[in-house]
Amino acid sequence: MKHRISLLISAAVISAAGLAYAQEATFESQTEPEVVPGQFIVKTSPGTDMARFSIQSLSDGVRVIDTLPEVGMLVIEAPDAEFGALSTRSLNVPGIAYIEPVYVVRADATPNDPDYPQQWAWPKIKAPAAWDIGKDSGNLIVAVVDSGVDYRHPDLAANMWKNPGEIPANGIDDDGNGVIDDVFGANFVGAATNGDPMDDNQHGTHVAGTIGAVTNNSLGVAGVNWKTQIMALKFLSASGSGSTAGAIRAIEYGIKMDADIMNNSWGGGGFSRALEDAIRAADNEGILFVAAAGNSNSNNDTNPHYPSSYNVDNVLAVMATDQSDAKAGFSSFGATSVDMGAPGVGILSTTPGGQYSSFNGTSMATPHVAGAAALVWAQNPGMSHLDIKKHLMDTAEVIPGLAGTSLTGARLDLGKAMKPGDTPPPEPQPEVCKSKAHTQIAYDEFMWSARKQVSKNDNILSVSFTLTEPMVVDISTDTSGHRIEGSGNTLVRTGVYNQANPSVMWTGSYRRMNFAGGKDDYRDISTDFSIVLPKGSHTIYWKLWVTGATLELDSGTLTVRGIPCSMGGKLSISEASTMSADRTEADQGPAARQEELGTDPMGQSTTSSN
């Protein structure tokens, strides 16, 4: 069963508040996310012929180690290259949309919390009542993106997905998908993909057992689904760590091989635009992406945990609850960034070698929801992946003690989700937007006078604005400067942030550059970054980090562009006029800005006051 729906991005006109000049601030820069040395992900521009695309002009010694045509990406290796230099060079290479490091991510490890009675979760989420209505999702494929699965486990073997186009153990890529003998899934650990996703860690097998351990077979444990198809996509190694490149390759395989649901009990690393794009590609193919909220007991609203915090429609973020329906002490949470809770403490499930163990973690909560999604979807084949997500959230049991910990403040209720009377009809998809409105520049502000000096970690500027609907926002910064103090190579870093003293940077906007010259060596300092932001008020900060030197900057601009299309449809971006930046700071009161910005083509004001 496949549900392939191309989703349309909903957008609205930005409503701008007053420009706020940031206070001079000294803060400690965040520890940079762990990366795979010398490896990078290159996203090609739309329409690029990947078969003819050449990456050699990007850097000496660069080589392509993986091609991912389903998501339009390449994984490259450039051992001696520095990311900032590669990023700068990529601007002049036709066919490159962006480049980013390959980040290291890790399984959401099991905290050392006490165990609870065996499989207490089933009566808690009313699974027996659900099983009276339906037990099987054998027509659906649930991909376990993890450390692999012990496909020989006696409580899993009968529920493993089997590639219909592959002949086992003949050493031939029978179905021509690029992987030899990928009978139960594939292994993406390291650069060379192979067809053996055997679990050498325990984590993935435990997750798989919760989703679909064979049930009513007089052996071991029960799964949410008594019968299903578990696709093993291994990208985490025996140590429980992997890379964003490996995760993207696993997601691409799942898209190619028609997975319906992806369980993602892992997280870490910085914001990866490439991983977000891969998840969006899965969304466009009607795949539900269920993700663990993380085990750091932190608020994901202010400290995002990826991939659960990516703002893509198909992401269903899950926190862990305990036997008393309280938030598990280790579980991360978020009133706007986490969707719902599920049991994640003392969860008994399958482990490699025919064994069983109890684990704790949001990793254990997530497969309860992924398994529930499969069971409900099998009973309601007319629903889309987004209908399933909404239905699970709408039918979850609201728990007073969970208020403010997620969007729903609720814990999975499989019994209610499976009741026929609680199943809504599929929601109609939005029509293609018929608005002819253009991209509207909401800000193009004179930020500082020439000769501004920067010698530490500085908040250069903050700008606040309000969105009336979720929308795509493009943030551009531009200035130039030269070194007036310091010698040798000076490292300068720049980026856009969502906090004055950020705990998480928007790594998609992060850039590095080196200054080596003196007063006559002017260098451009710029950032260009796009992100989907939710409805509501936002403040962004442009920052510079300068180490061991003083830079003198020219005047500069920060531009925030919004793409208005209130019906939620195909984005049509045209050139927008650019306003003059040669005015003084005294001219920049709210009234002056309103007169300059005026109205957009739809006749709506582009300014307001907060």
Instruction: Quote the CA–CA distance of 80 and 64 in Å, as a whole number.
Output: 15
Give counts: helices (H), strands (E), the chain: 10, 28
Q: What are phi and psi of 410, to 5 degrees?
A: -140, 165
Rounded-to-integer distance, Cα 556 and Cα 228, Å? 58
Catalytic residues: 146, 203, 363
DSSP run (H or E) holding 501: none
Determine the Cα–Cα distance for residues 588 and 595; give it in Å rounded to an integer. Answer: 11
HEC string of 258-290 equals: CCCEEEECEECCCCCHHHHHHHHHHHHCCCEEE
Cis peptide bond upstream of 101, omega within 30? no
H/E run at residue 598: none
Q: How far is residue 261's CA from residue 207's CA, in Å, rounded to a whole number?
A: 14
Q: Are strands 550-553 and 471-485 parallel, antiparallel or unpaired?
A: antiparallel
Q: Is residue 97 within 8 Å of residue 88, measured between CB atoms? A: no
CA pair distance 532, 312, nearest whole angstrom: 8
Give the integer Cα–Cα distance in Å for 452 and 183: 62
CA distances from 57 to 46, 245, 513, 604 (A): 19, 22, 19, 46
Q: Which of 564, 583, 580 is nearest to 572 (CA)?
A: 564
290/338 Cα distance (integer angstroms): 11
The C-alpha atoms of residue 510 and residue 508 are separated, in whole angstroms, by 6
Integer angstrom CA distances of residue 243 from 39, 274, 280, 604: 10, 12, 18, 45
Quick check: helix, strand or coil at residue 509? helix
146, 187 contact by CB (below 8 A): no
Residue 591: count of CB within 10 angstroms of its CB = 9
What is the β-pairing status of strands 340-343 and 347-351? unpaired
Name the pairing type of β-strands 315-321 and 340-343: parallel
| Closest by CA position to 266, among listed 34, 36, 110, 39 | 110
Paired tokens of 135: 């037990």
